[in-house]
Amino acid sequence: MKLRVPSHIDSLIPYPPGKPLEELEREYGIRGSIKLASNENPLGPSPKAVAAMQNALAQLHRYPDGSGFYLRRKLSEKYHLPFDGIVLGNGSNEIIELVIRAFVQPGDEVVMPAPSFLVYSLVAQTVGARGVPVPLQDFHLDLKAMAAAVTVRTRVVFINNPNNPTGTIVGKHELAEFLEGLPSDVVVVLDEAYIDFVRDQECPNGFDEVQRAAPPVVVLRTFSKAYGLAGLRIGFGVMPAEVADYLNRVRQPFNTTTLSQVAALAALEDDEFLAITRRNTWDGLTYLYGELERLSLPYVPTQANFILIEVPVEARRLYEAMLRRGVIIRSMASYGLPRYVRINVGLPEENQRLVRTLDEVLAELAGRA
C-alpha cells in the first residue's frame, strides 16, 4: 500500500502514554503493582461523581448535551466566569487541539517552554506549524526568552503553570509583564492542569487574565488530576467569547459524554473530597522530600502533585528495573532529561513502597555498574 502522507504527519512521533497497571501485570506476571507515573489522584474519583454517574446510566441511549449547558453554568457560577467564554473538552488536551486548529496554519510558529507538556509540540506539528521550544532556566520557565522568541509568524504561546514535568511556577508579576509585552494577535494558552495543588500565593489565577483586552488568553483546567476523573476525559477552557466562538466551530458536536458531564458537575460540589486530596498530596510531598534527601537524590521543589528527581543512572534503566518490581514511574528521557524520573504522590503506603523499591533498585543498579 502506498499512502500519500504529508511530511509533517509522516515524521510525527506519537505521544508516549504511561503504562497501564493491567498491562504491566500481564507482561511480568505480577500482582499488586502500583502506578505513580501519570499524576493521577490515588484516592480515586469523588464519591459524589460516582453516584452521579450511576444515576445517569438509564439515559445513555440519548446523545449527550452538545453544549454542556449545566456543567458550563456550574463553572460560570463557581468561578464567576462569563458563560459564553467556557468551552468543554475531551480532557483539556482537546482544548489544546482546538486552539491550534482554529488559529494556526502551516508555516506558523507556536512558542512553548522546553521541557514541558509534549502534546503542545505534537499538536502544532499535526497542522504543519513549527514548534519553537524555549529552554527552561534552572527548571523554571524563562518568560523573557519566550517573549524574545515571538516573531511575526507566532500565533500561539503555551505556558504550563505549574509546569509539567518540573512543578515550578511563574509568578503573578512575571506573567503580567510577559502578557503586556506580547503582540495583541498572539493567543496565549495558560495550562493550569495542576493549579489545585498550588500553595505558593505568588502563583497567578489565570481566570483573572481572561478578560484583558489583548492578547487573548485561554486558560485550561482539567478534572483528571485533583478531581480524580482521568478515565472520563473531561476538561474545560476559559477564554474571551470571541475565541470560544471559533473553538466551538472546530470542535465535534458531542465531544464530552453524558457521564463525564454529570461526574464533573458533581465533583465541583464535593469540596470535602478536594480538601482530602490536597492534604494527601501535601503530606505525601513532605514525606517524599525527606526520603529523597535521605537517599541523596536531588529533586526540584514542586507546586504540583509530582516531583522531578535526578537519578545516578539512566532513567530508562531505572524505569525498567522498577517495572519488574511492580512500581510504575515515568522516565523523563523523552522530555530531554535522560537522568531524571518523575513520580506522583500516592497513598501513604504507596509512597513508602516507592521509596523502599527505589532504594533497593538503585543499590542493585550501582552494583552492576
Q: Which amino acid is at 109?
A: E
> How many other CB atoms are found less than 10 A from the CB of residue 185?
12
pLDDT tens digits along 115-129 = 999 999 999 999 999
Note the pLDDT of residue 100.
98
- For 223, phi then psi, to 5°, come to -100, 5
Instruction: Give the C-alpha separation, 279 to 43, whole Å.
Output: 11
Note the pLDDT of residue 369.
54
Extract the residue ranges of the chain whose pLDDT is less than 70.
213, 368-369
Task: Catalogue all structural domains in the chain, each as residue range(s) with its CATH number.
Answer: 7-44+272-368 (3.90.1150.10), 47-268 (3.40.640.10)
Cβ 365 vs Cβ 321: under 8 Å: yes
| Residue 121: strand, helix, or coil | helix
Residue 244: name the closest of 187, 307, 168 by CA: 187
Note the pLDDT of residue 211.
81
> Which triple of cell numbers denotes residue 291?
526520603
Note the pLDDT of residue 4.
87
Note the pLDDT of residue 11.
81
Helix, strand, coil proportions of the chain in percent (round to 5)? 45, 15, 40
Residue 109: name the closest of 178, 159, 155, 160 by CA: 155
β pairing state of 299-300 and 306-310: antiparallel
Instruction: Give the C-alpha separation, 338 to 315, whole Å.
Output: 6
Note the pLDDT of residue 25.
82
Q: Which amino acid is at 318?
A: L
Instruction: Give the C-alpha separation, 298 to 276, whole Å.
Output: 28
The CA–CA distances, whole Å, from 1 to 61, 264, 289 equal 39, 44, 54
CA dihedral 16, 122, 191, 70 (to 10 degrees): -90
Spell out the residues 6+ positions from residue 163 whose beta carbon is closer than 8 angstroms to its own: 113, 116, 136, 140, 141, 169
Provide the percentage of residues in the chain whose pLDDT is more than 70.
99
What predicted TM-score, i.e. pTM, was given to this entire model?
A: 0.94
Note the pLDDT of residue 368.
62
CB under 8 A, 24+ apart: contacts of 246-250: 246/102, 246/103, 247/87, 247/95, 247/98, 247/99, 247/102, 248/87, 249/102, 250/98, 250/101, 250/102
